[in-house]
Structure 1
Amino acid sequence: MKKWSTMLSVCSLGLILAACNNDAGTDEEGNEGDEASENQEEVTISVASWRFGNEGEETLERSMVEAFMEDYPHITVEIDESIGDPWNDSLSAAASASAMPDVFELSEVPIALANDWLLSLDEVVEGDEDFDNINEAVKEQLYYEDTVYSLPSGQHLLGYFVNKDLYEEGNLNVPEYGMSIDDFSNAVRDVTDINSGQVGLNQPFSIIEWYPVSANDDMGVFTYQDGELNLDSNEFISGVNLANSLVTNNYVYESLTEEQKGNFNGEDGNEVWFQSEMGLRWDGTWVLSFFDESDFDWDFVGIPGGKAFSVNDFMGISQSTEHPEEAYLFTKYMTFGKEGFLKRLDLVDEQDFTLNTLPITTDQEILDAFFERLDVPGILEAYEDIENGVANLPKIVPGYTAARWNAPTGVSVGEESNATIGQLIDAAVNGEVNIENYSSQLNDLANQQIQEGIDSID
């Protein structure tokens, strides 16, 4: 049987596409839409997502809802504005009041499973071409106990963006996708000149996530391997030590003193990047629209080792829905379905919206259309090998949030008498404690949190 603890052990990522068997039907050319909808029962479904923005705001997602209702006039979609932060608490309150939206964004899939919010989707996805086109590595993330419970709603890449001009102006080697760990370290160090207002990196803490992936082909993010974390491993300790080395030697903007930051034109790391004073910036591909404002040549170079580091978002359909097929049709239209994604591209062109997700499909027509609109060589290179990459874990591994950040350690660090795992690791990165003194204790505590997460579902 597929369980979260085993199916995520490799954490490989790929492209995602889903669609549905539904009663809407198709016309003679195979297109679902108005003609087929004329004979359908009129239904209303509700959706909750943080993607819509504020009520009344003109966003791409709200325009997609309108486009869906135009294409499927027998389905009315109402945006549930009552669901908000904290997201899980808000959904829990709605469930208690028997007022769950039909479709809703998932901040953590395991929590939704533990609370029995999710409808089994096996019947609606069976035989569906869009769903069958989902890359197998990603498709596994949608299952628990051999049953489909969630659907992909967005895809992004995490990694480093490089200011190519800054390196070329200094006659330095420009970091490229697939660089080694040593290449990365040298690139951060070589471009840094604090007195001249140049720094190598925005923040050091993401090194802890990717270092094990780059150092060991068998490890996933944050040392995740075969359903367990390995925080007592050389890969984890070496990652913390590399981050600490960059911090203590003033190669990281976030860790500079206020006096040192006075050499830069920006007020924070974001402004320093746009002032062309930072060599490498850790971020996700959701920032692409903002990077269009840059006055320098930049590219995406991912993480050392050349593995795609992907972040997927997920949506679920409520157990209480009275219209599972319509809810599924809507969900795939908004996210991974071919029909909907092509409409998304049209809206981007027509209304000057910014593309806010990478394609979640292996459909070549969509991939060609998308990358015609996105000229970032490093992103294309990473995307082409995404099925062999690694997945970010907070939304898919039970207990991970506690294991990575929130669980108290009982260790006193600075002003924290009972530092969390995240605070203790940050303290090690900042040189306040020696990580080797705590790695075994952290490993036991973190894996206890993973197991408790699994138990909460079972």
Structure 2
Amino acid sequence: MRVKPLFQCLLVVLLILTAGLAGCSNNQGASSESKNKDSESEEKASDSGEKITITYGTWQEDKEVDQVIKAFEETHPNIDVKKDKSLGWPWNEKLSAAAAAGKLPDVFWTFGVPTAITNGWLEDLTPYLEKDEDYNPENTFESVLKTANYDGHQYAMPHSMHAIVMLLNTDLFEKENVPVPDSSWTLDDLRKASVQLTDYNNQQFGFLNPRAYREVLPVQFDNSLEWGTWDGEQYNFSSAAYVDSQNYINTLWNEDKVSPSVYTQEERDKWYGKDKDPWTLGKIGIRYDGTWGLKGNTDNNKFNWTVLPVPGVDGYRVPLVADYVGISKNSKHKEASYEFLKWLTFSKEGWFDRKDAGVPVARSIPLINDEEIWDAYLSDEAVPEEMKEIIQLIPDGTVDPLKAHPGYTEALNIIGSMNEKFDKGEANPSDVGAEMDQKANATYEKATEELDKAIKE
């Protein structure tokens, strides 16, 4: 930010500055005094045994929210938590309305951390974490943690984490006499198996929906990239990795026709029944999915299945999806809110409290790197044994930028519009990469400027 020369209109400026500084000094003192009073009031309420009530904004299902709140309140009897039922989808729009009305929840999930910072919704958690003796970033997955850290400020914490994986119907592999691959499999192995498992006459297909796989595929062609072709400084849609990944998907779809999604909804409804999932019916060999679905697959699949990492050309990186939680900048109970946030995120006690309360263990991969927690997680009936190998890949994983990377929502619109053109044969990935780079990098630069300005204010 440029500063205007002070020698211009010196006397006038000095008079304005003097008056302004006096006013600012009084206002800052009043603001500081008000904050201190709020803090003292909160501490006195806590010391006296009086309950503090905080509000919680989440898109988690009501049953699990009730379990979470009950478990927290049992171990923190001085804090009551009330779910904010006014929030819903579209999430950012609802948060914006709540903020405008001065009714942001004390603690809330955020679908876009940069958006929440730019709008002034989030408290900087850094001072709380720095004075918390229980907090050690080395006991978490720093690759995920740092996605919500901007210019050294931790504005949100990941409260859940999922891995993108491949699910394999091993019964179908056995039926078709196709060897079940191990975790060292490659993209060539995936394509070969998908073709071998496809039997159109029996409405059986090798791969459920290859096009859903597009976003995470470039990094599997070039492990130096991140999710979405990001390299740490810019997008790289003009790279060979992006072009090759899109051509791979097009081959599976147009040439190999390994997916029921290639065909019309009317045809699929005729084959499987309206709104029926061909994977659950046992008619799909390989499914691209996330670990959030492990329990559902355990409960609903009537066939044997396993889980493998997303394969690559020569090595691979596991794609990770994180969800984030923060504290309202205008909360009147920030210390109590921090206790709840801590319990939801990096507290070992909080993890076991939630487990004991019945919250499904397999719903999220633990964010706390602790042997007891890993033993409990891996012993859960909904977690396949093969998850051990995927967990080992997490420290070097690539994180979904949707909720934390500045400008990625806009970049995703650019990617999506090009995908539609690819699907219709109206564009070729090798011809439009430079244009995509220019547009996507511009969205990042604009969002970063706005974010930097908000952080410095």
Segment drifting more, 323-332 vs 110-119: 323-332
Q: Deviations over 1:340-370 (max 9, x none)?
A: 110122122xxx8564212111011111111
Structure-1 separation of matches of 2:411 and 2:205: 32
Q: Is the 8 A contact 2:213 2:288 kept in 1?
A: no
Deviation of 1:203 after TM superposition, in Å, equals: 1.3
Q: Is the 8 A contact 1:178 1:307 kept in 2?
A: no
What residue number does 2:406 align with? 398
Deviation of 1:433 after TM superposition, in Å, equals: 3.0
What residue number does 2:41 align with? none
Verify: 1:449 aligned to 2:454, yes or no: no
What residue number does 1:410 align with? none
Verify: 1:237 aligned to 2:279, yes or no: no
Q: CA 1:40–1:364 in 2, change beyond 3 Å: closer, same or farther? A: farther
What residue number does 1:206 align with? 212
Of 378, 385, 393, the match for 1:377: 385
Of 130, 146, 158, the match for 1:140: 146
Q: CA 1:430–1:284 in 2, change beyond 3 Å: closer, same or farther? A: farther
Deviation of 1:60 after TM superposition, in Å, equals: 2.2
Structure-1 separation of matches of 2:395 and 2:424: 34
What residue number does 2:56 align with? 47
Structure-2 separation of matches of 1:432 and 1:262: 29
Secondary structure at 1:300's aligned position in 2?
Answer: strand
Of 300, 305, 313, the match for 2:323: 313
Deviation of 1:174 after TM superposition, in Å, equals: 1.4
> Quick one: which amino acid aligns to residue 151 of structure 1?
M
Deviation of 1:258 after TM superposition, in Å, equals: 5.2
Q: Is the 8 A contact 1:155 1:310 kept in 2?
A: yes
Matches within 5 A, 1:52-451: 52-53=61-62, 59-126=63-130, 127-132=132-137, 133-249=139-255, 250-257=257-264, 261=268, 264-267=271-274, 271-292=277-298, 293-305=300-312, 306-348=316-358, 355-374=362-381, 375-405=383-413, 407=414, 421-429=415-423, 431-451=425-445
Q: Is the 8 A contact 1:203 1:252 kept in 2?
A: yes
Structure-2 separation of matches of 1:192 and 1:260: 16
Q: Is the 8 A contact 1:194 1:263 kept in 2?
A: no
Deviation of 1:40 after TM superposition, in Å, equals: 4.8
Structure-1 separation of matches of 2:153 and 2:352: 29
Q: CA 1:173–1:319 in 2, change beyond 3 Å: closer, same or farther? A: same
Deviation of 1:215 after TM superposition, in Å, equals: 1.2
Secondary structure at 2:206's aligned position in 1?
Answer: strand
Q: Is the 8 A contact 1:199 1:278 kept in 2?
A: yes
Segment drifting more, 367-376 vs 429-438: 429-438
Q: Deviations over 1:135-172 (max 9, x none)?
A: 33223223111111101111111122111111111111
Deviation of 1:252 after TM superposition, in Å, equals: 1.6
> Quick one: which amino acid aligns to residue 295 of structure 2?
S
> Quick one: which amino acid aligns to residue 248 of structure 2?
L
Deviation of 1:401 after TM superposition, in Å, equals: 1.2
> Quick one: which amino acid aligns to residue 370 of structure 2?
D
Q: CA 1:258–1:73 in 2, change beyond 3 Å: closer, same or farther? A: closer
Structure-1 separation of matches of 2:164 and 2:113: 20
Q: Deviations over 1:175-234 (max 9, x none)?
A: 333321111111211111111221111212233222221111201112111221101111
Secondary structure at 1:231's aligned position in 2?
Answer: coil
Structure-2 separation of matches of 1:451 and 1:40: 49
Q: Deviations over 1:220-252 (max 9, x none)?
A: 112111221101111111111111111113112
Structure-2 separation of matches of 1:139 and 1:277: 38
Larger radius of gyration: 2
RMSD value, Cα: 2.0
Secondary structure at 1:100's aligned position in 2?
Answer: coil
Structure-2 separation of matches of 1:428 and 1:93: 37
What residue number does 2:39 align with? none
Gaps of 5+ in 2: 1-45, 453-457
TM-score, normalising length from structure 2?
Answer: 0.82
Structure with more of its chain in helix, by fraction: 2
Q: How many percent identity over aligned positions?
A: 31
> Quick one: which amino acid aligns to residue 189 of structure 2?
D
Structure-2 separation of matches of 1:49 and 1:257: 36
Deviation of 1:299 after TM superposition, in Å, equals: 1.2
Gaps of 5+ in 1: 1-36, 54-58, 408-420
TM-score, normalising length from structure 1?
Answer: 0.82
Q: Deviations over 1:34-54 (max 9, x none)?
A: xxx77555311111000143x
Structure-2 separation of matches of 1:401 and 1:443: 15
Structure-1 separation of matches of 2:289 and 2:425: 24
Number of residue pairs aligned between Structure 1 and Structure 2: 399
Structure-1 separation of matches of 2:142 and 2:210: 33
Q: Deviations over 1:302-338 (max 9, x none)?
A: 2113422111100110111122221111122234321
Secondary structure at 2:56's aligned position in 1?
Answer: strand
Q: Is the 8 A contact 2:124 2:153 kept in 1?
A: yes
Structure-1 separation of matches of 2:344 and 2:428: 47
Q: Is the 8 A contact 2:221 2:241 kept in 1?
A: yes
Secondary structure at 1:208's aligned position in 2?
Answer: helix
Q: Deviations over 1:49-92 (max 9, x none)?
A: 00143xxxxx1221110121121111111111111111111111
